[in-house]
Structure 1
Amino acid sequence: MALSRETMTDEQRKSVVLEYLKAFDNGGVTSTGDGILDLFADDAQAYFPKWGLANGKEEIGRMFGDVGSTIKKIEHHYSHFNWVFSGSDVVVVEGTSHGEHRDGPWRAGVPEWAAGRWCDVFEIRDWRIQRLFIYLDPDYAAKDTERYPWLADRT
Structure 2
Amino acid sequence: MENKNLITVQSYYKFINEGCANSEKYYQLFSDDVEIFYPKFGFGKGREGLQKFGQKIIQLIDYLEFDLEKFNYIENKEFVIVEGHEKGITNTGIKFPNNTDSFGKFCSVFQLENNKIKRMHCYVDPDFASQDIERLRILNTLPIEDKTSQTKKIVDEFYDIQFGRRKGNLIDLFADKVDWDLPGNKNKFSWVGKRETKEEVQAFFYELSKNIESEKFEIDFITVNGENATVVGSLVSKILPYNKSFSTTFVVILKVVDEKIVKYHFLEDSYKLNEEMR
Q: Measure the CA separation in 2 of the matches of 1:64 and 1:12.
A: 25
Residue in 1 aligned with 2:6? 14
Q: Match for residue 92 of structure 1?
A: 81
Mapping of residues 57-72 of structure 1, within 5 Å: 57-72=47-62
Relative contact order higher in (CA < 8 Å, ≥ 6 apart): 1
Match of residue 44 from structure 1: 34
1:23 to 15, 20, 25: 15
Question: Where in structure 1 do 4 or more consecutive aligned residues deviate above 6 Å?
Answer: none
Tell me, in whole angstroms, the C-alpha distance in 2 between the residues paired with 1:67 and 1:28.
Answer: 14
Q: Which structure is higher in helix share? A: 2
2:77 maps to amino acid: S
Long gaps (5+) in structure 1: 1-8
Residues 61-109 of structure 1, C-alpha deviation per residue, up to 9 Å, x if partnerless? Answer: 1112111332111111111111101x220100100011111131103xx
Counterpart residue type for residue 125 of structure 2: D
Q: Counterparts in 2 of 1:67-78, with a 5 A limit?
A: 67-78=57-68
Structure 1 pair 106–114 and aligned structure 2 pair: CA distance change class (3 A): same
The separation in 2 between residues aligned to 1:120 and 1:128, in whole angstroms, is 15
For residues 122 and 41 of structure 1, the distance between their equivalents in structure 2, rounded to whole angstroms, comes to 12
> Which of the numbers 133, 137, 140 marks the counterpart of 2:128?
140
Deviates more, 1:89-98 or 1:144-153: 144-153
Segment drifting more, 117-126 vs 140-149:
140-149
CA distance in structure 2 between the aligned counterparts of 1:35 and 1:29, rounded to whole angstroms: 9
Taking structure 1 as reference, are residues 57 and 113 closer, same or farther at Cα in structure 2, changes over 3 Å only? Answer: same
Output the CA distance in 2 between the equivalents of 1:10 and 1:134: 25
**In 2 relative to 1, CA 35–64 (structure 1 residues): closer, same or farther, beyond 3 Å?**
farther
Give the root-mean-square deviation of aligned CA atoms: 2.3
Residue 4 of structure 1 is matched in structure 2 by none
Matched, 1:53 2:43: yes
Structure 1 Cα separation of the partners of residues 116 and 11 of structure 2: 11
Shift of 1:35: 4.3
TM-score by length of 2: 0.47
SS of corresponding position for 1:146: helix
| Count of residue pairs the alignment pairs up | 142
Aligned residues: percent identity? 25
Q: Indicate if the aligned counterparts of 1:115 and 1:138 stay in contact, CA closer than 8 A.
A: no
Q: Please state which structure has a larger fraction of its residues in strand.
A: 2
